[in-house]
């Protein structure tokens, strides 16, 4: 059975690209969930759409648009955001919401101006695992490796700044620059994943495996590894199921990840009743 | 309605077209409800909840299409059910961001499934349905649909004004409101149901992906311009209706610009303008810190 799956070069490339995207999203998403920046992450994953549509409109490769828009939006959101935990949250979420709606409206305008076919629009939004070239896999890898190295370099202070920003700032950790650097990396991860899963489904890979991992364990390193493994597993399973059925890959990936999340929460609730649940994050760190 | 529009000299040629009349009628009702509900959505920091409901709207509408029933059945049913569910499951009528994100990521995956079922079954008969759910089709509303949308918009507006006073109290100081006997939890759930209704309603005009702009931007602009609650509520409603009218007129004058884009761009521009005014004047609630603003509002309620 697996022989037929790996026989086709397009499936092999889809699995390769899916793996790269799942690893990057699993690692970046773990910090996103820890920092409760799901709304910012969702917006970053959506702004790739106008980027790609705009790039196509002026005759560039969509990859430029994805990276350009996601990185710029990451910096804008980081700059406009007030310090963590301040009373300005309602203002921040209104800014993010307006940026998101405006970006998507621009994307729709670009598609209209291009007079492109509607399949192109659906592919930008919902992705296409088919027809991924060797070159695309290599370029995904070329961006993924430096992004993961950069995350590894800032991981320790970022963890500290995410869990207890006040103490981290007091001990000299550059909390604000770390926040900007992280949203930049999150933008890169979103741009990577958008090219494969489409703008609307990136968020599933960014939020579901990390949220599941954080329900299961409070240990940072173990959690990140678990999140990456879960992400890769659901991507592979989703691709395989989509290969054998007429239904879209995105549905399988999101449904499998959501099932894992619900199962993890159910098991933890049972564990908490018998007193064997994992300790909260704060205790594990101190 | 037509009389109001006729004040502007260039309007009569626009409303000569039945589809533009329908769009103005539906759009005014939709924008009015959206602006009023949005004021509280921003005040209660529930913009992300609105974002989630907009994706539920997409899935609900496509589920109805795939099942072969009227699109609006799925649209309104799904958003209101999920909104009430989020209110019931969350503490004091609000849900955790990660839980919301997880649920709507999955919802979107289901939406894609319904889209693929619908497009493969209908064999190109209505291949643009997915696009019009995502980005709206206000110029394509029939007279009946427009009248229904306007009526629901007015109902939302009335609903908001009926619960405005206790909702304001419980949004600003939940503990004190609960101590005074305000049913905080029931209000939170009731308000979320109204947000769900508004999300479904607004999807018909600007689409599931763009409704957040009409919900958040005029309301955020109103929050920048005034700290007085009822003035802010009226201002948010007015700005939303203004964005709708300007957007519709702009798309009539420039046919290559889709109305959804023009409406959202106007709404976001009003927010940017209000933000600029606010910073230039250096006053107002949000930038000065929540505390004196809260005091100001609490006074406004008690007086």
| Domains delineated in chain B | 2-122+129-302 (1.10.3470)
A2-285: which CATH number, 1.10.3470.10, 3.30.70.1560, 1.10.238.10, 1.20.1250.20? Answer: 1.10.3470.10
| Distance between A113 CA and the closest CA of chain B, angstroms | 7
Q: Which of A3-17, A67-81, A177-191 has the highest average model confidence (pLDDT)?
A: A177-191
Cβ of B19 under 8 Å from any chain A Cβ? no
Chain A 154-213, CB below 8 Å of chain B: which residues? 200-201, 203-204, 207-208, 211
Give the model's pLDDT for residue B292: 41
Gyration radius of chain A over CA positions: 19
Question: Is the pLDDT score of A278 beyond 60?
Answer: no
Minimal Cβ distance to B47: which of A93, A105, A112: A93
Cβ of B223 under 8 Å from any chain A Cβ? yes
Which positions in chain A touch B121 (Cβ < 8 Å)?
none
Cβ of B122 under 8 Å from any chain A Cβ? no
**A242-245 contacts: CB < 8 A, separation 24 or more?**
A242/A129, A243/A5, A243/A11
* Residue B154 contacts residue B29 (beta carbons within 8 Å): yes
* Residue A63 contacts residue A139 (beta carbons within 8 Å): yes
Which positions in chain B touch A200 (Cβ < 8 Å)?
108, 112
Lowest mean pLDDT among A49-63, A247-261, B70-84: A49-63
Cβ of A118 under 8 Å from any chain B Cβ? yes
| Distance between A260 CA and the closest CA of chain B, angstroms | 11
- Lookup result for tokens 């602009």: B221
| Distance between B175 CA and the closest CA of chain A, angstroms | 17
Q: Token digits for A276?
A: 């064997």
Cβ of A133 under 8 Å from any chain B Cβ? no
CA dihedral over B210, B211, B212, B213, signed as positive or negative: positive
**Burial classification of residue B247, based on how many CB atoms lie within 10 Å of its CB (0-12 exposed, 13-18 middle, 19 or more buried):** buried
Q: Token digits for B144?
A: 């009946």
Which positions in chain A touch B112 (Cβ < 8 Å)?
126, 200-201, 248, 250-251
The residue that leads in pLDDT, B72 or A121, is B72
User: In residues, how long is chain B?
Assistant: 303
Which positions in chain A touch B131 (Cβ < 8 Å)?
118, 121-122
pTM of the entire structure? 0.83
d(CA A127, CA A34): 27
Size of interface A-B (CB pairs under 8 A): 177
| Distance between B162 CA and the closest CA of chain A, angstroms | 24
**Which residues have C-beta within 8 Å of that of residue B86, sequence separation ≥ 6?**
B49, B52, B95, B100, B103, B192
The b/e string for B76-95 (b: 16+ C-beta within 10 A; e otherwise) is bbbbbebbbbbbeebeebbb
Tell me the mean pLDDT in the region A242-264: 90
Cβ of B121 under 8 Å from any chain A Cβ? no
Could A101 and B98 be called an inter-chain contact, meaning their C-beta atoms sit closer than 8 Å?
Answer: no
Q: What is the ipTM of this complex?
A: 0.82
Distances (CA, A) of A18 to A14, A22, A122: 6, 6, 19
Question: What does the pLDDT profile of chain B (303 residues) look like in tens digits?
Answer: 555 555 555 556 677 788 888 899 999 999 999 999 999 999 988 888 898 899 899 999 989 988 888 888 999 999 999 999 888 876 654 557 888 888 888 988 898 888 888 877 765 545 677 778 888 888 888 888 899 999 999 999 999 999 999 999 988 888 888 888 888 888 989 999 999 999 999 998 888 888 999 999 999 999 989 889 899 999 999 999 999 999 999 988 888 888 999 999 999 999 989 988 887 776 444 444 444 444 444 444 443
A101, A106, A110, A112, best to mutate vs chain B, most B CBs in 10 Å? A101
- Secondary structure of chain B in HEC code, one letter for each residue: CHHHHHCCCCHHHHHCCHHHHHHHHHHHHHHHHHHHHHHHHHHCCCHHHHHHHHHHHHHHHHHHHHHCCCHHHHHHHHHHHHHHHHHHHCECCECCHHHHHHHHHHHHHHHHHHHHHHHHHHCCCCCCHHHHHHHCCHHHCCHHHHHHHHHHHHHHHHHHHHHHHHHHHHHHCHHHHHHCCCCHHHHHHHHHHHHHHHHHHHHHHHCCCCHHHHHHHHHHHHHHHCCCHHHHHHHHHHHHHHHHHHHHHHHHHCCCCCHHHHHHHHHHHHHHHHHHHHHHHCCCCCCCCHHHHHHHHHHHHHC
Phi, then psi, of A276 in degrees rounded to 5: -115, 10
A251, A255, A263, best to mutate vs chain B, most B CBs in 10 Å? A251
Could B220 and A91 be called an inter-chain contact, meaning their C-beta atoms sit closer than 8 Å?
Answer: yes
B48, B105, B240, B268, best to mutate vs chain A, most A CBs in 10 Å? B105
* Residue B202 contacts residue B137 (beta carbons within 8 Å): no
Minimal Cβ distance to A113: which of B106, B256, B287: B256
Q: Token digits for B8?
A: 């502007």
């Amino acid at each position: 059975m697996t022989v037929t799956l790996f026989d086709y070069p397009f499936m092999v490339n889809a699995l390769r690209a899916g793996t790269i995207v799942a690893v990057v999203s699993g690692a970046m998403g773990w910090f996103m969930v820890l920092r409760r920046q799901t709304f910012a992450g969702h917006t970053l994953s959506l702004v790739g759409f106008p980027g790609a549509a705009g790039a196509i409109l002026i005759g560039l490769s969509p990859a430029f648009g994805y990276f350009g828009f996601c990185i710029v939006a990451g910096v804008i959101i980081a700059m406009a955001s007030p310090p963590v935990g301040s009373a300005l949250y309602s203002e921040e979420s209104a800014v993010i919401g307006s940026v998101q709606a405006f970006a998507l409206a621009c994307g729709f305008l670009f598609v209209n101006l291009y007079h492109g076919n509607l399949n192109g629009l659906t592919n930008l939004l919902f992705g296409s695992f088919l027809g991924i070239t060797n070159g695309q896999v290599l370029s995904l890898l070329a961006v993924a490796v430096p992004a993961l190295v950069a995350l590894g370099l800032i991981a320790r202070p970022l963890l500290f700044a995410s869990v207890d920003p006040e103490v981290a700032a007091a001990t000299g950790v550059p909390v604000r620059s770390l926040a900007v650097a992280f949203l930049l990396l999150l933008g890169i991860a979103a741009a990577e994943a958008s090219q494969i899963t489409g703008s609307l489904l990136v968020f599933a890979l960014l939020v579901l495996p990390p949220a599941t991992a954080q329900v299961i364990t409070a240990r940072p390193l173990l959690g990140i590894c678990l999140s990456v493994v879960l992400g890769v597993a659901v991507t592979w399973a989703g691709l395989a199921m989509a290969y054998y059925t007429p239904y879209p890959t995105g549905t399988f990936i999101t449904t499998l990840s959501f099932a894992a999340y619900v199962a993890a929460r159910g098991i933890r609730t049972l564990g908490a009743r018998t007193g064997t649940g994992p300790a909260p994050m704060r205790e594990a760190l101190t | 309605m037509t009389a109001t529009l006729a004040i502007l000299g260039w309007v009569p040629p626009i409303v000569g077209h039945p589809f533009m009349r329908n769009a103005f009628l539906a759009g005014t009702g939709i924008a009015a409800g959206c602006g009023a509900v949005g004021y509280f959505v921003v005040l209660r920091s529930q913009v992300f909840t609105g974002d989630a409901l907009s994706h539920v709207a997409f899935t609900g509408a496509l589920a109805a299409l795939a099942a072969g029933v009227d699109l609006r059945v799925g649209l309104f049913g799904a958003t209101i059910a999920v909104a009430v569910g989020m209110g019931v499951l969350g503490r004091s009528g609000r849900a955790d961001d990660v839980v919301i994100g997880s649920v709507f990521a999955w919802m979107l995956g289901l939406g894609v499934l319904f889209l693929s079922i619908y497009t493969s079954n209908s064999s190109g008969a209505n291949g643009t349905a997915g696009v019009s759910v995502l980005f709206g089709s206000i110029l394509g509303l029939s007279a009946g649909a427009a009248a229904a949308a306007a009526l629901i918009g007015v109902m939302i507006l009335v609903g908001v004004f009926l619960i405005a006073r206790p909702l304001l109290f419980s949004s600003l100081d939940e503990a004190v409101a609960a101590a005074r006997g305000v049913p905080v939890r029931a209000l939170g759930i009731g308000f979320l149901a109204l947000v769900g209704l508004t999300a479904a309603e607004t999807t018909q005009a600007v689409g599931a992906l763009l409704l957040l702009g009409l919900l958040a931007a005029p309301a955020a602009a109103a929050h920048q311009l005034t700290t007085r609650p009822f003035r802010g509520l009226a201002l948010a409603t007015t700005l939303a209706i203004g964005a709708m009218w300007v957007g519709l007129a702009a798309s009539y004058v420039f046919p290559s610009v889709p109305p959804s884009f023009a409406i959202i761009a106007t709404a976001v521009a009003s927010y940017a303008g209000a933000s600029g005014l606010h910073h230039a004047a250096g006053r107002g609630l949000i930038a000065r810190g929540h505390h004196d603003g809260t005091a100001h509002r609490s006074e406004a309620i008690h007086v």
